[in-house]
Amino acid sequence: MFESHDRISLQLSKIYYTHPAQRRCLMVDTLSVAARSHRMSLITGRNTKPEISLRRGLHATGLRYRIHVGKLPGKPDIVFGPAKLIVFVNGCFWHGHTCPDGHIPKSNSEFWKEKICKNRIRDARNIRALRQSGWKVVVVWECRLRKNEDVIREVGRVRSRILKRQPERDRA
């Protein structure tokens, strides 16, 4: 009796400690494949829709890269090896962007402040470690990848950074 009760309150607390944007997804029992992968992307912060849009855009311009490279600090989302350039696609809420999406919820705000503060400290540490090893780091915020024209602009920004870095012989 107690056990099942605890389990329910544990599940409720999991829902409670989740950002409002995710709460709806977590309470749905049956999910399509697309919905499930969307839910996973919210949890892991990888393969989100904005991230995939950026990757597609970069790929379409002929650039090639590795994704989610675990051996580098922060497991960077997009890695251009020869150009020694890294792109992080940051979710505005989790990484504390100064935009409306980065707004801390009113309920449980101390919990969220601490969590996001820790994330920001970790991000800064990872970027510092990468720069010390000779990597250039570009951060792209998810709010800057909403519309098609936004994606095109960010693709251009990353591309120009790569062309500056890439040795002549590696260019397409």
Sign of the C-alpha dihedral computed for residues 66, 34, 53 and 40 taken in this order: negative
CA distance 155 to 69: 20
104 binds Zn ion (CB under 5 A): no
Asked whether position 116 contacts Zn ion by CB under 5 A, the answer is no
Q: Are 58 and 160 in contact (CB under 8 A)?
A: no
- Binding string to Zn ion for residues 65 to 84, with x set by CB under 5 A, is what? --------------------
Element holding 84 (H helix, E strand):
none
Which of 90, 84, 48, 46 lies closest to 68, judged by CA? 46
Which of the ranges 11-19, 101-109, 129-137, 156-164 carries the binding residues for Zn ion, by CB under 5 A? 101-109
Shortest spacing between CB 100 and Zn ion, in angstroms: 8
Name which of 35 and 99 has its Cβ closer to Zn ion: 99
| Edge-to-edge strands, sheet with 78-80 | 66-67, 78-80, 85-90, 136-141
Residues in contact with Zn ion, shown as a per-residue x/- string from 142 to 171 under the rule CB under 5 A: -x----------------------------
Q: Under the criterion CB under 5 A, does residue 97 sit at the interface with Zn ion?
A: yes
Which of 93, 112, 135, 141 binds Zn ion (CB under 5 A)? It is 141
Between helix 148-165 and helix 49-60 the angle, nearest 10°, is 60
Segment interacting with Zn ion (CB under 5 A) among 13-21, 70-78, 138-146, 151-159: 138-146
CA-CA distance, 79 to 58, in Å (whole number)?
Answer: 12
Q: Which of 15, 27, 99, 121 binds Zn ion (CB under 5 A)?
A: 99
In the complex, the residues that contact Zn ion under the rule CB under 5 A are: 92, 97, 99, 101, 141, 143
